[in-house]
Amino acid sequence: MSYKVSGKDWADIFFKLDPSDVSKSRYMCNLCPVGSQLYTSAKGHGYTNLKTHITGNHSESITDMVNEFRGIKNTNALDNKVNELMKDLKKLKNASILRSIKDTNGLMPVTRNVTRWSSTWEMLVRFLILVLYLHNCGLPEATKALIPSYVEIHELTQLKDQLQKFQDTTLSLQSDSGEIDLYFVRTLFDNLIRQHPSCVKHLSPTSDIVHKMMMMMMMIEKKR
């Protein structure tokens, strides 16, 4: 599978909308210093000037970020495929068959929860355990037709390994050890940004969320 990165994708990866622009056509580069030049995406001209700015000023960041974005688009379809399989496996007859597999100790399918990103990781972990037995445990042909191919399973294994890093970070943030402070959180986020440059839009010190009133109130409360 391959995904062509569009002009709009370039805007989503590298830019954020200028919050003061009511026309919602001016973008601010995520890689430039705060207060840098604004770049306009005018009607009829697409996002050419945004792409030109990135290729001319931030070429060292392009490959990793665009490739990762392309990979995310590709794996979305695979996530959906696994989720559909898991929903089918939850049907009464299929669930009864799964419970009879001794080597899995009766593990049941896990579906994705759109309100919890970690549920995708949990679903993939469970899928990669169950998939070893799905072809030969007596499931209906219609259900077996939903099982991803061996190439797709390899891609899903890689995706699970990538999501493991985010899962580890999430668990670290939820720790009740009492050793978590803002410096620790910043270090976690910076490590993720280094491994996954496209995270800069949401995890960098200049992300929109950092400047939202609710976030500021939480930080002030933390210091008290």
Q: Which domain holds residue 2?
A: 1-57
- pLDDT tens, residue by residue, 135-193: 999 999 999 999 999 888 988 898 888 888 888 887 787 777 666 677 777 888 888 88
Report the pLDDT value the prediction gives residue 206, as an integer from 0 to 100.
73
Report the pLDDT value the prediction gives residue 145, as an integer from 0 to 100.
94
Tally of domains in the chain: 3
Question: Is the Cα torsion angle 14, 64, 151, 103 positive or negative in sign?
Answer: negative
**21, 42, 57 — which closes off a domain?**
57
CA dist 214 and 64 (Å) reads: 32
* pLDDT confidence band for 61 (50 / 70 / 90): low
Report the pLDDT value the prediction gives residue 15, as an integer from 0 to 100.
76
199-219 mean pLDDT: 60
213 vs 103, residue with greater confidence: 103
Return the number of other C-beta atoms located less than 10 Å from residue 34's C-beta.
7
Do residues 69 and 166 both lie within one domain? yes
Share of the chain above pLDDT 70, in %: 71
Mean of per-residue pLDDT scores for the chain: 76
- pLDDT tens, residue by residue, 146-157: 999 988 898 889
**57, 76, 103 — which closes off a domain?**
57
Do residues 169 and 70 both lie within one domain? yes
Do residues 41 and 65 both lie within one domain? no
Do residues 86 and 109 both lie within one domain? yes
Lowest mean pLDDT among 81-95, 104-118, 172-186: 172-186
Tell me the C-alpha to C-alpha distance, in Å, between residue 28 and each of 5, 11, 204, 218.
19, 9, 14, 26
Phi, psi (5° rounding) for residue 38? -95, 145
Sheet of strand 15-17, all strands in order from the earlier edge strand to the far edge: 15-17, 26-29, 38-40
Report the pLDDT value the prediction gives residue 215, as an integer from 0 to 100.
46
207 pLDDT higher than 50: yes
Do residues 76 and 133 both lie within one domain? yes
Do residues 40 and 68 both lie within one domain? no
